[in-house]
């Protein structure tokens, strides 16, 4: 779109500037946009050692060149990038819905939000203009109430991203919720907005996203649509049953973490499956902007957990369901609705509650602090109760709001939090999927399945079926996945397209939209540059490296007790040396040679000055 906005909340000033004046086009090509541009700007403008909740941290709202161009590319997404208060890492959190394209339609490629306001504010983007508005009347309201007020105020075409009470209260579970049910969930980005007194961003606009080569674009669009229609995942499974179609598949593989990863098979999995959602509570599909896959769900639950709204997704029914031992679909979905309304990450929330339940069952949480709640695994009422308590930091909810790791540490059992870099793990037990285990351990943003979805080849057989119990060849394949996903996250498009096509098609789409003629090799190099830049930022932030590339002892030393993956543990030691070799890292940090090969000499110089560049 050619414009970005720098929004200084301390001074209450907005500057709208030319995108390429800040990031020349040759530099933009090295990062593409989205996640890549985010880490580039973080390295340029933010001290890696900054306190994430201080005014000196910045929050970036970014789109990619493909965002909002046309239906069929699954490009209805946007990215939040900041330094996470949960992990202390550079962190990107991505979200679907409609908000991302409307940032483009309002005339902006990205926003730089800096400083902090003394009073609550929100930002309006409209037809190339950006303005800070008073939000005192919105502070304290939940996401849904806030969104409805702003839609009424700015018109039916206004798209809203907002924080709820969790973000206002600086909970480390806090997410940014757009379109009332889509979350930039991971990493407590909502708390960063809360620390800045930024309640919401409203995007209104009708500008058209320019395309570099229209003829080539129509060609890649047709190819993308045809390949998604030919894929059983993108044309059948996801449209019919949503992401929760994975519940039975992963449970049957024996890697469905249950009761805080103490087990890997959930006896009530069928009750919270995508098939059960479709049969009992589904109202309609809820696709993102321009999406032909339409995996999103809109559901309605029944008494005593009555409600309606977006979701639940696979990760959500796992985190709030199997991981807490709750097999009541209505209760799990109600907790999901509360997360949407109150502004919380369902994965971190479910993990924190599961940790609290294990602590309770092991006698570590005194009953007197629970106000009569029996916080045991499988208690559906306690699940719903603890969800809203965490947002408002009420009673034991104050401890839960810190996230699973800090909660477990407070009560003297940090080892029972299943996390990497302070971020709780998602819905796959890494003991039974070795490549995925390596992906968890080496994820720059903390425990995450979306840095490299090795479940695809190890369980689903896409593009080919690999033995999930083998460590052989997993390191180079993981690097490929991490690099391609980093570039994809910078376009910005949905990862589900990778069930239908890979880097060749993605590079062609970038080329058609931008006119850059980007080769597959260049596309992969962009991803490699991003992954190394993130790790370099983290090394400067807190010394990230080899000691953080690990998993909790429960996952590396305690075998899965039962089920199809019985006896398995995560064997990181067999893969990490090869991974570091193919990455060009020493002890978990990129070398000068690697950084300079990727055009990151200045980053290498800074690392050397700070004493964190490996010799």
* Domain 244-424 bears CATH identifier 1.25.40.850: no
Count the residues in the chain: 615
From CA 39, how far away is CA 57, in angstroms rounded? 13
Query: What pLDDT score was predicted for residue 554?
Result: 98
pLDDT in tens, 395-415: 999 999 999 999 999 999 999
Report pLDDT for 615. 87
pLDDT score of 89: 98
What's residue 148's pLDDT? 98
Q: Would you list the DSSP string of 122-189?
A: EEEEETTEEEEEE-TTTTT--HHHHHHHHHHHH-TT-EEEE--HHHHTT-TTB-EEETTTEEE-TT-H
Which pLDDT tens digit goes with each residue over 429-442? 999 999 999 999 99
Q: Which helix (H) or strand (E) holds 194?
A: helix 189-195
Whole-angstrom distance, CA of residue 43 vs CA of residue 598 = 15
Residue 544 pLDDT greater than 90, yes or no: yes
pLDDT at 372 (0 to 100): 85
Where do the CATH 1.10.569.10 domains begin and end in the chain? 244-424
Contact 498, 548 (CB under 8 A): no
CA distance linking residue 522 with residue 132, whole number of Å? 39
- Residue 431 tokens, joined: 């003991």
pLDDT one-digit tens code per residue, 255-284: 999 999 999 999 999 999 999 999 999 999
* pLDDT, tens only, 68-92: 999 999 999 999 999 999 999 999 9
CATH 1.10.599.10 maps onto the chain at 430-609
Place of tokens 């029996």: 374
* pLDDT value at residue 371: 83
pLDDT tens-digit series, residues 341-396:
999 999 999 999 999 999 999 999 988 888 888 999 999 999 999 999 999 999 99
What CA–CA distance (Å, rounded) separates 614 from 604? 10
HEC readout, 474-492? HHHHHHHHHHHHHHHHHHC
In this model, does residue 422 exceed pLDDT 90?
yes
**What mean pLDDT do residues 330-344 have?**
98
pLDDT band at 226 (very low <50, low <70, confident <90, very high): very high
Burial class (CB in 10 A: 0-12, 13-18, 19+), 444: buried
Q: Residue 76 has what pLDDT?
A: 96
User: Looking at residue 564, what is its pLDDT?
Assistant: 98
Contacts with 45 (C-beta within 8 Å, 6 or more apart), sequence order:
58, 112, 114
Q: What is the pLDDT of residue 367?
A: 84
pLDDT tens for residues 109-163?
Answer: 999 999 999 999 999 999 999 999 999 999 999 999 999 999 999 998 999 999 9
Count CB neighbours of 165 within 10 A.
Answer: 24
- The domain 430-609 is placed in CATH, from the list 1.10.599.10, 3.30.70.600, 3.40.50.300, 2.60.120.380, at 1.10.599.10
Note the pLDDT of residue 366: 87
The CATH superfamily of 3-204 is Aldehyde ferredoxin oxidoreductase, N-terminal domain (3.60.9.10)
pLDDT above 90: percentage of residues in the chain: 98
Q: CATH 3.60.9.10 in the chain: give the residue spans.
A: 3-204
Beta bridge partners of 285: 297
**Whether the predicted model's global pTM rises above the 0.75 cut:** yes
């Amino acid at each position: 779109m050619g414009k970005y906005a720098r929004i200084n909340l301390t001074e209450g000033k907005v500057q709208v500037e030319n995108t390429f004046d800040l990031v020349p086009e040759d530099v933009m090509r090295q990062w593409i946009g989205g996640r890549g541009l985010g880490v580039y700007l973080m390295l340029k403008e933010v001290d890696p050692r900054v306190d994430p909740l201080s005014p000196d941290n910045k929050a970036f709202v970014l789109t990619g060149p493909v965002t909002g161009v046309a239906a069929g590319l699954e490009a209805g997404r946007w990215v939040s990038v900041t330094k996470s208060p949960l992990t202390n890492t550079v962190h990107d959190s991505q979200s679907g819905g409609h908000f991302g394209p409307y940032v483009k339609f309002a005339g902006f490629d990205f926003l730089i939000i800096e400083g902090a306001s003394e009073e609550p504010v929100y930002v309006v983007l409209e037809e190339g203009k950006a303005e800070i508005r008073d939000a005192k009347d919105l502070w304290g309201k939940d996401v849904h109430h806030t969104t409805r007020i702003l839609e009424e105020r700015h018109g039916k075409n206004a798209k809203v991203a907002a924080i709820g009470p969790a973000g206002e209260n600086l909970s480390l579970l806090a997410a940014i919720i757009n379109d009332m049910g889509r979350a930039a969930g991971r990493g407590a980005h909502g708390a960063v907005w809360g620390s800045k007194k930024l309640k919401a961003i409203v995007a209104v606009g009708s500008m058209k996203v320019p395309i570099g080569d229209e003829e080539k674009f129509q060609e890649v669009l047709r190819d993308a649509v045809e390949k998604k229609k030919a894929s059983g995942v993108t044309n059948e499974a996801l449209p019919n049953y949503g992401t929760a179609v994975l519940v039975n598949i992963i449970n049957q593989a024996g890697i469905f973490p249950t009761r805080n990863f103490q087990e890997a098979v959930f006896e009530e999995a069928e009750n919270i499956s995508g098939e059960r959602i479709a049969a009992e509570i589904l109202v309609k599909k809820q696709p993102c902007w321009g999406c032909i896959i339409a995996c999103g769900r809109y559901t309605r639950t029944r008494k005593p957990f009555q409600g309606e709204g977006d979701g639940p997704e696979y990760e959500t029914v796992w985190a709030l369901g199997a991981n807490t031992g709750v097999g009541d679909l209505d209760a799990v979905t109600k907790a999901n609705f509360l997360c949407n309304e109150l502004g919380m990450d369902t994965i971190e929330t479910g993990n924190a509650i599961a940790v609290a339940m294990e602590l309770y069952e092991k006698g570590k949480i005194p009953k007197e602090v629970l106000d009569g709640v029996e916080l045991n695994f499988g208690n559906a009422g306690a699940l719903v109760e603890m969800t809203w308590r965490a947002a408002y930091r009420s009673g034991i909810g104050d401890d839960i709001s810190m996230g699973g790791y800090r909660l477990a540490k407070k009560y003297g059992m940090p080892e029972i939090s299943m996390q990497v870099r302070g971020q709780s793990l998602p819905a796959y037990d890494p003991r039974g999927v070795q490549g995925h285990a390596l992906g968890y351990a080496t994820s720059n943003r903390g425990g995450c399945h979306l840095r490299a979805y090795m479940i695809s080849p190890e369980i689903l057989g896409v593009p080919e079926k690999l033995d999930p119990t083998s460590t052989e060849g997993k390191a180079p394949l993981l690097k490929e996945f991490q690099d391609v996903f980093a570039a994809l996250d910078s376009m910005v498009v949905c990862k589900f397209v990778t069930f239908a096509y890979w880097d060749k098609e993605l590079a062609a789409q970038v080329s058609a939209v931008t006119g850059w003629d980007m080769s597959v090799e260049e596309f992969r190099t962009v991803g490699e540059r991003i992954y190394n830049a993130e790790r370099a930022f983290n090394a400067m932030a807190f010394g990230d490296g080899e000691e953080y590339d690990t998993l909790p002892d429960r996952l590396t030393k305690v075998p899965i007790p039962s089920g199809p993956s019985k006896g398995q543990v995560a064997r990181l030691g067999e893969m990490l040396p090869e991974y570091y070799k193919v990455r060009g890292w020493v002890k978990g940090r990129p070398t000068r040679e690697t950084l300079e090969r990727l055009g990151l000499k200045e980053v290498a110089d800074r690392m050397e000055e700070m004493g964190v560049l490996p010799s």
